[in-house]
Amino acid sequence: MAGIVSYGTYIPRYRIKVEEIAKVWGENAEAIKNGLGVYEKSVADVDEDTATISVEAAREALSRAKIDRGQIKAVFVGSESHPYAVKPTATIVGEALGIDNFYHCADLEFACKAGTAGIQNCFAMVSSGMIKYGIAIGADTSQSAPGDPLEYSAACGGAAFIIGSDDVIAEIKDTLSFTTDTPDFWRREGQPYPSHGRRFTGEPAYFKHVLNASREIMRRNGMSPEDFTYAVFHMPNGKFPVRVAKMLGFSRKQIEQGLVVRYIGNTYSGSSLLGLSAVLDVAKPGDRILLTSFGSGAGSDSFIIEVTENIESFERSPKVWEKIKKNRVYIDYGLYSKLRKKIRL
- Which residue of the set 40, 48, 56, 80 is catalytic? 80
- Which residue of the set 40, 60, 105, 112 is catalytic? 112
SS3 per-residue string spanning the chain: CCEEEEEEEECCCEEEEHHHHHHHHCCCHHHHHHHHCCCEEEECCCCCCHHHHHHHHHHHHHHHHCCCHHHEEEEEEECCCCCCCCCCHHHHHHHHHCCCCCCEEEEECECECHHHHHHHHHHHHHHCCCCCEEEEEEEEECCCCCCCHHHHCECEEEEEEEEECCCCCEEEEEEEEEECCCCCEECCCCCCCCEECHHHHHHHHHHHHHHHHHHHHHHHCCCCHHHCCEEEECCCCCCHHHHHHHHHCCCHHHHHCCCCHHHHCECHHHHHHHHHHHHHCCCCCCCEEEEECCECCCEEEEEEEEECHHHHHCCCCCCHHHHHHHCCEECCHHHHHHHCCCCCC
Q: Does 104 qualify as catalytic in the annotation? A: no
Q: Does 234 qualify as catalytic in the annotation? A: yes
Q: Does 80 qualify as catalytic in the annotation? A: yes
- Which residue of the set 82, 196, 209, 234 is catalytic? 234
Could you list the active site residues? 80, 112, 234
